[in-house]
Chains A and B, each alone.
Chain A
């Protein structure tokens, strides 16, 4: 051990588990995170996993944060190194003064360690092998045994973990007691053989409040249930599959007729993304609320239909759980890289509505709202999540629903309205907002039928290749998009304490890291006004924010600063005033990264007056 002092911290540190995927570690690691929450201390866990089922490295990172910083922090204070394949890299990643927890059954050469960290060896394999004979049991209980040892080392209350095990194995007494037994095997060994606790400690607090712990994909799927979606068509693709799976589970719970047992929903696993979006378009054309969930490659396949949705004006909701592209890219790594692809998806002049939730609570709200917007605007609405929000448990405010809310089914002409003799032109702008009326198939025996097509037609849906008729329709679509500006969620602005000429724009999963970075920047003396964009088309307040600041940083998780491009393009402003801050290695952006990038840039902008410099 060098003179580097071991890190000492209560309720503020990062633990990283290095495992082999398929070893059953995920549930033990998740239990670790939940146990800390039960101490009243916020955590922010992240699964870092390969595109593989068994045998490749996987990591689970838990940021313990009494302050409530839910973004990734970067760096590791305690490494639980259970994977020999990644040992060297894992050990190298520990902060100086940090801790290494490992299975000491087999002796390791001293060169495999570092002298500026505290090494904690627990003979996990030896303990497991002497207790269990079945190989699968040995593997699974080894995970619970290290959980027990960690509970002693971090001074956690074992009762709270037992409670969690009790909830997980409710009604399965045998599994329950054997898990509790394994927990204590590890805990007792550590208490008897190691100095407990170490410098990192979990202390009971009450900073979690009424917040819930949920994955964004599950919350978005529940939003679809609350928002009245009845048709879901999807094709499996990471990281979006769990949206459809969660929708299925939620529907089983909430959407069966109590008397007949029949389903008030239809879910189809399509043969590909083309079929999935086709089913959504067909169902929406026929008046049902329908959605699909996919990721980048699926969006690419769907673009022809997205153009049809735009031009023939058919509602659709697409949840895009973004992952790193292009091509197959990094299927299990996060990015915000489909902004341009979705905003302008399909051939010809097209523009689409994008919603950017920051966390599962907003994913729920925006998912439900997406169906109102899709039917009101009769076009595709993209709900832009990413792997970081979608597939990780995130602490967020409880989900809320107003029971007095009715669905906005948009402008639908009914049989009664047609009977009254109302003029029906499928593409006729009667209200000046660019939004025409539609009819559902089968409404009236002699009125209101029309022929839907992706080719140009006049205001009464009659086929036409007249240039003026085509242009008239395209201009109405622009008017409709302007209407959308005031219907979508508005940006949220938070100003610095003192007036400043500098601003920062960010969106989606960057939110918690950005909020934390503001504090770090203030500590460096930089004041920034913040604007969180929550939707495209941009509300007029985006243009105002740009006008009020000399320089605006645009923080995003892609290489080409796509949101910045969109802002420049749509607002027609001088690009030099928008400074790109990009992070795109597939890991979630951190406060440290943002604060350094913006801080360094700000330092360069500070010009020392000449007189001062020479005096």
Chain B
């Protein structure tokens, strides 16, 4: 029923967050994706995380590339500016936007074709630069909008809906993000809201390049037997390293999972992430350990989910460039233009 405009009324008793916003204030237009698409679950998790964090919706800039995943920013945070840019180029557009105004929250939404194929370079370089952003890849291993071609994250040996076997090696964006110095790296599954919502909330609170790879089955083209991105396959092969809660001075998000040790990580913005350890040996502050852990499980055919790495004291591109605290887009001629006296001196030096 995607042609029907979303009604504006809502239940008067709808719960409000710290800023007085209801859940509905974080929603966007009705999704035009296929019913049951994993991407819609991610949209719901983004809405949930923003609501829980009590973010002012209009202080988020949503930027995407091209593809099914890149359409989703229209379906959440309807009062935010969104930018559905160029295929594979979300990272550069986001980088520029971030340079112009460091005070907004930047949410980059991309897909596996957008980030691992055409935009692999931009993905890599935005991570390298430490742009302060939450970079979410809605990863289904397939080109949905052009009807079912393999993407670069499709596993070798996996089968397309038409029965073609993929013979190319897969790119694991999580492994690459770790290698390139992302300061927050996680993986989750679109069907696991309990894990995904706190991960998104923690990523938003993180100052630096946060990357989340979300496996999101394509119900139209990649949810069949032989696919390694289907609901069934991911559920069977998922190995979570931890569960986390984000504490923002209110009730922590209710997730109640296997008991284990709890480790609290305080982030730059003051929010705290409580990691409930499932694997007792797992240390999320060890980049090298995370890489090894990931590789070891990949060899066993297991998809590791959870928060793999975080550096709570990370720096971002603005700290590298030593830019002023005021957003650059607020500076005017009085502070930017050196004026005619300086120009006269400059002229004199060229004679």
Q: Is the CB of B322 within 8 A of A263?
A: yes
Q: Is the CB of B99 within 8 A of A283?
A: yes
What are 25 A-B pairs at a CB distance below 8 A? A212-B350, A230-B99, A230-B100, A254-B338, A254-B342, A264-B335, A275-B125, A278-B95, A278-B96, A282-B83, A283-B97, A284-B96, A285-B97, A305-B86, A401-B340, A403-B339, A407-B333, A440-B81, A442-B59, A442-B101, A445-B56, A449-B82, A451-B84, A452-B81, A454-B85
Q: How many A-B residue pairs have CB under 8 A?
A: 227
Contacts of B96 in A (CB 8 A): 231, 233, 278-286, 288, 290
Distance, CA A444 to CA B73, complexed state (A): 18
Distance, CA A439 to CA B82, complexed state (A): 12
Q: Is the CB of B329 within 8 A of A287?
A: yes
Smallest CB-CB A-B distances: 7 pairs: A282-B96, A278-B92, A288-B100, A441-B81, A287-B329, A279-B96, A283-B96
Distance, CA A274 to CA B93, complexed state (A): 10
Distance, CA A432 to CA B17, complexed state (A): 44
**A144-183 contacts to B (CB < 8 Å):** none
Partner among A270, A399, A402, A442 whose Cβ is within 8 Å of the Cβ of B81: A442
- Tell whether B323 is near chain A: CB-to-CB under 8 Å: yes
Distance, CA A450 to CA B81, complexed state (A): 5
Contacts of B351 in A (CB 8 A): 37, 208, 210-213
Partner among A282, A400, A407, A440 whose Cβ is within 8 Å of the Cβ of B93: A282
User: Which residues does A use to contact B, with CB under 8 Å?
Assistant: 37, 208, 210-214, 222, 225-226, 228, 230-231, 233, 254-255, 257, 260-268, 270-272, 274-288, 290, 304-305, 308, 398-403, 405-407, 439-446, 449-455, 463
Distance, CA A286 to CA B95, complexed state (A): 11
Contacts of A449 in B (CB 8 A): 58, 78-82
Distance, CA A282 to CA B336, complexed state (A): 20
Q: Is the CB of A231 within 8 A of B86?
A: no
Q: Is the CB of B340 within 8 A of A400?
A: yes
Distance, CA A603 to CA B167, complexed state (A): 71
- Tell whether B35 is near chain A: CB-to-CB under 8 Å: no
- Tell whether B270 is near chain A: CB-to-CB under 8 Å: no
Q: Is the CB of A272 within 8 A of B121?
A: yes
**SS of B interface (majority):** helix
Contacts of A265 in B (CB 8 A): 323, 328
Contacts of B97 in A (CB 8 A): 282-283, 285-286, 441
Q: Smallest Cβ distance from A489 to chain B, in angstroms?
A: 20
Q: Is the CB of B336 within 8 A of A230?
A: yes
Q: Is the CB of B84 within 8 A of A454?
A: yes
Contacts of B346 in A (CB 8 A): 222, 399
Distance, CA A588 to CA B336, complexed state (A): 36
Contacts of A272 in B (CB 8 A): 121
- Tell whether B122 is near chain A: CB-to-CB under 8 Å: yes
- Tell whether B217 is near chain A: CB-to-CB under 8 Å: no
Contacts of A407 in B (CB 8 A): 332-333
Q: Is the CB of A305 within 8 A of B89?
A: yes
Contacts of B343 in A (CB 8 A): 226, 399-401
- Tell whether B256 is near chain A: CB-to-CB under 8 Å: no
Contacts of B236 in A (CB 8 A): none
Partner among A226, A254, A290, A445 whose Cβ is within 8 Å of the Cβ of B100: A290
Q: Smallest Cβ distance from B329 to chain A, in angstroms?
A: 4
Instruction: Using CB atoms, name the residue of chain B closest to A439.
Output: B81
Q: Is the CB of B82 within 8 A of A231?
A: no
Instruction: Using CB atoms, name the residue of chain B closest to A396.
Output: B350
